[in-house]
A and B are shown apart, each in its own frame.
Chain A
Amino acid sequence: MTRLTGGLIDRNAPLNFTFNGKAYKGFQGDTLASALLGNGVQLMGRSFKYHRPRGVVAAGSEEPNAMVELRTGARQEPNTRATVAELFDGLTARSQNHIGPLHRDFLAVNDLLSPFFAAGFYYKTFMWPKAFWEKLYEPMIRKAAGLGSLSMLPDPDDYDKGFLHCDLLIVGAGAAGLAAALTAGRAGADVILADEDFALGGRLMSESDALDGANAMDWVASAKAELESLPNVRIMTRTTVFGVYDHGIFGAVERVSDHLAVPGDKVRQTLWRITAKRTVLAAGATERHIPFADNDRPGVMLAGAMRAYANRWAVSPVKRDGDAIAIFTNGDDGHRTAMDLIARGAKVLGVIDAREAAPRFGDYEVFAGSTVTGTKGRLGLTSIEVTRNGRSEWHSVGALGVAGGWNPNVHLASHHRGRPVWNDDLLAFVPSPDGPKGLIPAGAAAGKGGTAEALTDGMKAAITALSEIGVAASEIALPKAENMPSEQAAFWHVPGTKRAWVDFQNDVTVKDIALAHKENMKPVEHLKRWTTLGMATDQGKTSNISALAVMAELTGKSIPETGTTIFRPPYTGVSLAVLGGGDTGPLFRPRRLTPTHHWAEAQGAAFVEVGQWMRAQYFPRTGETTWRQTVDREVLAVRSGVGLCDVTTLGKVDVQGADAGEFLNRMYSNMMGALKVGMVRYGLMLREDGHAYDDGTCAQMAEDHYVVTTTTANAGLVYRQMEFAHQCLWPELDVQLISTTDAWAQIAVVGPKSRELLTRIVDGFDLSNEAFPFMACSELTICNGLRARLFRISFSGELAYEIAVPARYGHALMQRLMEQGADLGATPYGTEALAVLRIEKGHAAGAELNGQTTAQMLGLGKMVSAKKDSIGAVMSRREGMAAEKRRLVGFKPLEAQTQVMAGSHLFTQGEAQTMTSDQGWVTSSCYSPHLESYIALGFLKNGAERMGEVLIAANPLEGKELKVEVVSAHFVDPEGGRLRD
């Protein structure tokens, strides 16, 4: 054990866990990384490219090395940073990206071959022989690449989403964030305080600084207690604000139960969309390292992280108690780590300070003007080489802390592409002044990392933010604090001939940057892409600035001239499941059920998804073994008796107002104004670009009242288009629009016996052809007083009606029609039979009205009235549209029992089948039990003039072709006598 004294762990709550199958113990309050270090485990993973042995580098979410596969089975979670994985009893973790055991990774051979794997090498080789890239090289690369693995099982956990609103969102609950929260909370503002950690305090948890002369955590505890008592403050721990979106909207993930073995009844995570009037970004800072030769060994870590492990988790980073620890720094901050380690009883070799005028703050050795120039220890650091003025000596150490300075966490401030600004005093980029509107950086995130200045800055940021939204907040009494010394030299890396890592995870070294420079990959984005620098899971948090500094040195430019990179959401990795939260199965999207759905279900109907709707597809009966048998029966029943079909899905829009007729006249291409009350007209709508859009009916219920129907697919779109026309084009017209699709259950009653059936349910309404002819409509009552609407319209070519009743009665009406029609052969039918009936009649549906066709093509050219203007009319007459020669026709296969596949292309017999000889295509096909033949519809060049011609319907995709005869699209009753009788 390498535990020290103190810390914020609960020693009375020991927890068992395993790493690579070996059992260990940790404590409540530990992360996986601190617990492993506490057990003397330094080796935690392997690097991406060279498979170098790696240990933990950081203590937070920026960790590039210590990544594990957490949990097992379907909950296996790859690439989890051990530094943020809260320890729970029974946790299991495995290191990843190695073949064989972690300490003897077979792929470590890559490290020996590293000279061949220099930056950009992929692009220069693997090109010969040509076929080998995909067959050999790439599969090998793919297998070796990647990090952790997925279980390939569906994620078993639940995820939630939600929306929060506040006056002030505070990102980060360290010194600045807590001061801001107290200030705003006391002012009565609605505050959300979010922190990715499971406890409040931020860096205060990891430092030994006193507040008001006492342990800083005492102040944190009192601040927490006060904030929890304020009803206007919501504290959200384990919550990462990962992205800044427009107008003060933030994406945040709350890890509700990742700290538990299983979520139980809870969701695993919640995605919050937070709308904040103002935001204080108090996200702290991230420490950077200093590249030097072989600086990537387990045991080499950031000095600030080392301090956090010592102070917060009471662990020493060495494998064995008594091993010495050294610090390599370019500034005062490294000395703090030495002091804290000593205070906790660790053995410190000394501080290697690159500055000649290195200070000394306590009783430890200072190697002034010195650098670390080498390390030893394959699986864990054993010694370091310290060099001063060219003279080197080796020292035995078990760990080395590296302090290269701190980078403000400017990420969220840069999500709107505001570029961070270089600050020469801080030697760091600070947030851009033109960052997201309403977002104010504070504390270390603003470059004010001293505890005292962070507290003050947080308070001031809150006051400023609130004053902008008219909330007066007063200064609060802040605890007395100090700013620790933070002098620093612009010392970026230790020059040398050996490899010095800049990006640990992706194995990018100083040499790689030099090579990129040599090859003219100088713009920082080229550097990144050529070397993969900053593309690892830490998104360059620990590497980008060092790399810029090295490139700046090579180009002779300053760091800001060399550039920075754009920060993009998310701040840290966010599980894909929570972003796609909610239902992923049958309720992934809402389901619209027709009024007769439950009835159809009881009949054993098969259902089909039609957009949002579930519709009955067909109603199988006992003894029927194929769907075709069922559909053939349904179709024949309709044509010989009477069929019933729920057509509620068709869109219905109520159009009222003095100008309703004129309005519809402008919406539809054909004349609608001259309709009569009690009559229905078929209507064709065009898009403004002249193409066919939708078809439907207009029923005139009163002088100033129409009921319009649309296709199922376009119901919402047509309603929207009508609102557009009404509000944006012709607001002067007196028109009121409202959808009534759901209000009415509409049932098609179709077939020669439909009139007889309806006669049995209407309350004395005269259904005779004279009183209620084809295309008539009326309000009436049925079944002893139920209000209903009746439309005599037909899409099948048969005598047919559509009857509408309040939706709650649809179920009962269907039952009643079935009962009353039993002796007439009343048969329910679904969408399949519906399709057969309309294909037999040659009516266009979705496959023909697919947005690419014109009225001319559909044989409806005459419906575009030249006597008036309507949407799309002018454009439908353009040269290319007028020249369109394809027409909707019917096809019959010469062999009646061979299906003409929809999607086949049409060719003249004997011609080569190419795109230029293509004559058209088959849009819809079915078996017609009526004609005892397969039939089809399709578009054919000059189709109207080619009746009787035999063509090839080619389906090379499925290796088939057949001969079809061109016929009229009206296979049934082309004269239309049946529907008028």
Chain B
Amino acid sequence: MLIPHPLLGLRDSQEFTYLGDANLMHRPDATAENAEAQFCDYVFQRENPAGVHRELWFHEQGDRSWLVVTRDTTTHEILGAELASNVKLGAAE
């Protein structure tokens, strides 16, 4: 596969390490009342869609950026990629 790195362009997916669902960026608040339930959901439960999936790839053999890649799990077609830190900071704003 080729990952369309937002800075570096198309790169061999072998340079990357795959983590999984991009929801892993949304770590729950440990002080919340139902924190344990939220963490269980966060750590273990997955949408696992057959279709468009936002997922985390780490450019380990590249610029070491974490990317949020949007990919169709039924065709492997990639619809976009963003820097995870941008996504996270954007979401926080």
Chains A and B directly touch (beta carbon < 8 Å)? yes
Residues on A with beta carbons closer than 8 Å to the beta carbon of B65: 727
Q: How far is A903 from B76 in the complex, measured between Cα atoms in Å?
A: 43
Given A249-B2, A875-B39: A729 and B76 interface contact (C-beta under 8 Å): no
Residues on B with beta carbons closer than 8 Å to the beta carbon of A416: 75
Given A437-B77, A720-B17, A875-B39: A731 and B1 interface contact (C-beta under 8 Å): no
CB-defined interface of A568-596 with B at 8 Å, one 1/0 digit per residue? 00000000000000000000000000000
Q: In the complex, which of the residues A246, A689, A723, A874 has the most CB atoms of chain B within 10 Å of its own CB atom?
A: A874
Contact of A728 among B28, B78, B84 (CB under 8 A): B84
Given A728-B88, A869-B30: A874 and B35 interface contact (C-beta under 8 Å): yes
Contact of A727 among B1, B17, B35, B88 (CB under 8 A): B88
Residues on A with beta carbons closer than 8 Å to the beta carbon of B10: 247
Q: Is the CB of A874 within 8 A of B36?
A: yes
Q: In the complex, which of the residues A723, A731, A873 has the most CB atoms of chain B within 10 Å of its own CB atom?
A: A731
Q: Is the CB of B88 within 8 A of A247?
A: no
Q: Is the CB of B31 within 8 A of A869?
A: yes
CB-defined interface of A117-143 with B at 8 Å, one 1/0 digit per residue? 000000000000000000000000000
Q: How far is A869 from B36 in the complex, measured between Cα atoms in Å?
A: 12
Q: How far is A688 from B56 in the complex, measured between Cα atoms in Å?
A: 16
Given A720-B60, A723-B58, A875-B39: A728 and B1 interface contact (C-beta under 8 Å): no
Q: Which B residue's beta carbon lies closest to that of A434?
A: B75
The yes or no answer to B8 lying at the interface (CB within 8 A) is no
Q: Which A residue's beta carbon lies closest to that of B27?
A: A729
Q: Is the CB of A877 within 8 A of B36?
A: yes
Given A727-B65, A728-B24: A875 and B88 interface contact (C-beta under 8 Å): no
B1, chain A: closest CB distance, angstroms: 4
Q: Closest 9 interchain pairs by CB?
A: A869-B30, A731-B85, A247-B2, A727-B66, A727-B85, A246-B1, A728-B25, A246-B76, A874-B39
Q: Which B residue's beta carbon lies closest to that of A737?
A: B64
Q: Which B residue's beta carbon lies closest to that of A873?
A: B30
Q: How far is A329 from B42 in the complex, measured between Cα atoms in Å?
A: 66
Q: Is the CB of A727 within 8 A of B43?
A: no
CB-defined interface of B56-90 with A at 8 Å, one 1/0 digit per residue? 10101000111000000001111000011100110
Q: Is the CB of A728 within 8 A of B56?
A: yes
Q: Which A residue's beta carbon lies closest to that of B24?
A: A728
The yes or no answer to A732 lying at the interface (CB within 8 A) is yes
Instruction: Tell me the A residues contacting B by CB distance below 8 Å.
Output: 245-249, 275, 416, 437, 688-689, 720, 723-724, 727-729, 731-732, 869, 873-875, 877-878
Q: Is the CB of A275 within 8 A of B2?
A: yes
- Please list 24 pairs of residues, one from A and one from B, whose beta carbons are closer than 8 Å in the complex, sorted by A's number: A246-B1, A246-B76, A247-B10, A249-B2, A688-B27, A688-B39, A689-B44, A720-B17, A723-B66, A724-B56, A727-B66, A727-B84, A727-B85, A728-B56, A728-B66, A728-B85, A729-B88, A732-B89, A874-B28, A874-B35, A874-B36, A875-B36, A875-B39, A875-B43
Q: Is the CB of B2 within 8 A of A689?
A: no
Q: How far is A875 from B41 in the complex, measured between Cα atoms in Å?
A: 11
Contact of B1 among A249, A869, A873, A877 (CB under 8 A): A249
Residues on A with beta carbons closer than 8 Å to the beta carbon of B92: 732
Contact of A688 among B2, B43, B75, B89 (CB under 8 A): B43
Q: Which A residue's beta carbon lies closest to that of B58?
A: A720
Interface residues of B in 7-41 (CB under 8 A from A): 10, 17, 19, 24-25, 27-28, 30-31, 35-36, 39-40
Residues on B with beta carbons closer than 8 Å to the beta carbon of A247: 1-2, 10, 76, 78
A11, chain B: closest CB distance, angstroms: 48
Q: How far is A869 from B29 in the complex, measured between Cα atoms in Å?
A: 9
Residues on A with beta carbons closer than 8 Å to the beta carbon of B76: 246-247
Given A246-B76, A275-B2, A869-B30: A731 and B36 interface contact (C-beta under 8 Å): no
Q: How far is A625 from B65 in the complex, measured between Cα atoms in Å?
A: 52
Residues on A with beta carbons closer than 8 Å to the beta carbon of B25: 728-729
Q: How far is A246 from B1 in the complex, measured between Cα atoms in Å?
A: 5
Q: How far is A877 from B39 in the complex, measured between Cα atoms in Å?
A: 11
Given A688-B43, A720-B58: A731 and B78 interface contact (C-beta under 8 Å): no
Q: Is the CB of A731 within 8 A of B30?
A: no
Q: How far is A383 from B42 in the complex, measured between Cα atoms in Å?
A: 75
Contacts A246-B1, A688-B39, A875-B43 supplied; 13 other A-B pairs, CB < 8 Å: A246-B76, A249-B1, A249-B2, A688-B43, A724-B19, A724-B56, A727-B65, A728-B56, A729-B25, A729-B27, A731-B85, A874-B35, A874-B36
A165, chain B: closest CB distance, angstroms: 10
Q: How far is A249 from B2 in the complex, measured between Cα atoms in Å?
A: 8
B63, chain A: closest CB distance, angstroms: 11
A813, chain B: closest CB distance, angstroms: 30
Contact of B30 among A246, A275, A732, A874 (CB under 8 A): A874
Residues on B with beta carbons closer than 8 Å to the beta carbon of A878: 36, 40
A666, chain B: closest CB distance, angstroms: 10
Residues on A with beta carbons closer than 8 Å to the beta carbon of B2: 246-249, 275
Q: Which A residue's beta carbon lies closest to that of B32?
A: A874
Q: Which A residue's beta carbon lies closest to that of B29?
A: A869
Q: Which A residue's beta carbon lies closest to that of B67?
A: A727
Q: How far is A249 from B43 in the complex, measured between Cα atoms in Å?
A: 34
Q: Is the CB of B35 within 8 A of A724?
A: no
Residues on A with beta carbons closer than 8 Å to the beta carbon of B64: 723
Q: Which B residue's beta carbon lies closest to that of A877?
A: B36
Residues on B with beta carbons closer than 8 Å to the beta carbon of A731: 84-85, 88-89
Residues on B with beta carbons closer than 8 Å to the beta carbon of A874: 28, 30, 35-36, 39
Residues on A with beta carbons closer than 8 Å to the beta carbon of B44: 689
Residues on A with beta carbons closer than 8 Å to the beta carbon of B27: 688, 729
Q: How far is A688 from B19 in the complex, measured between Cα atoms in Å?
A: 13
Q: Which A residue's beta carbon lies closest to that of B39?
A: A874
Q: How far is A874 from B35 in the complex, measured between Cα atoms in Å?
A: 7
Residues on A with beta carbons closer than 8 Å to the beta carbon of B28: 874
Q: In the complex, which of the residues A688, A723, A728, A878 has the most CB atoms of chain B within 10 Å of its own CB atom?
A: A728
Q: Which A residue's beta carbon lies closest to that of B38?
A: A874
Residues on B with beta carbons closer than 8 Å to the beta carbon of A720: 17, 58, 60
Q: In the complex, which of the residues A248, A437, A732, A875 has the most CB atoms of chain B within 10 Å of its own CB atom?
A: A875
B3, chain A: closest CB distance, angstroms: 9
Q: How far is A728 from B88 in the complex, measured between Cα atoms in Å?
A: 6
B17, chain A: closest CB distance, angstroms: 7
Q: How far is A732 from B89 in the complex, measured between Cα atoms in Å?
A: 7
Q: Which A residue's beta carbon lies closest to that of B71?
A: A246
Residues on B with beta carbons closer than 8 Å to the beta carbon of A249: 1-2
B45, chain A: closest CB distance, angstroms: 13
Q: Is the CB of B58 within 8 A of A724?
A: yes
Q: How far is A689 from B10 in the complex, measured between Cα atoms in Å?
A: 34
Q: In the complex, which of the residues B42, B43, B65 has the most CB atoms of chain A within 10 Å of its own CB atom?
A: B43
Residues on B with beta carbons closer than 8 Å to the beta carbon of A875: 36, 39-40, 43
B93, chain A: closest CB distance, angstroms: 10
Q: Which B residue's beta carbon lies closest to that of A730?
A: B88
B8, chain A: closest CB distance, angstroms: 15
Q: How far is A878 from B77 in the complex, measured between Cα atoms in Å?
A: 39
Q: How far is A437 from B76 in the complex, measured between Cα atoms in Å?
A: 11
Residues on B with beta carbons closer than 8 Å to the beta carbon of A248: 2
B40, chain A: closest CB distance, angstroms: 7
Q: How far is A724 from B17 in the complex, measured between Cα atoms in Å?
A: 11
Q: How far is A231 from B43 in the complex, measured between Cα atoms in Å?
A: 54
Q: How far is A246 from B42 in the complex, measured between Cα atoms in Å?
A: 30
Q: Which B residue's beta carbon lies closest to that of A689?
A: B43
Q: How far is A246 from B30 in the complex, measured between Cα atoms in Å?
A: 40
Residues on A with beta carbons closer than 8 Å to the beta carbon of B78: 247
A53, chain B: closest CB distance, angstroms: 47
A90, chain B: closest CB distance, angstroms: 40
Q: How far is A729 from B19 in the complex, measured between Cα atoms in Å?
A: 14
A161, chain B: closest CB distance, angstroms: 12
Q: How far is A422 from B56 in the complex, measured between Cα atoms in Å?
A: 41
Q: How far is A720 from B64 in the complex, measured between Cα atoms in Å?
A: 8
Q: How far is A416 from B2 in the complex, measured between Cα atoms in Å?
A: 16
Q: How far is A437 from B60 in the complex, measured between Cα atoms in Å?
A: 28
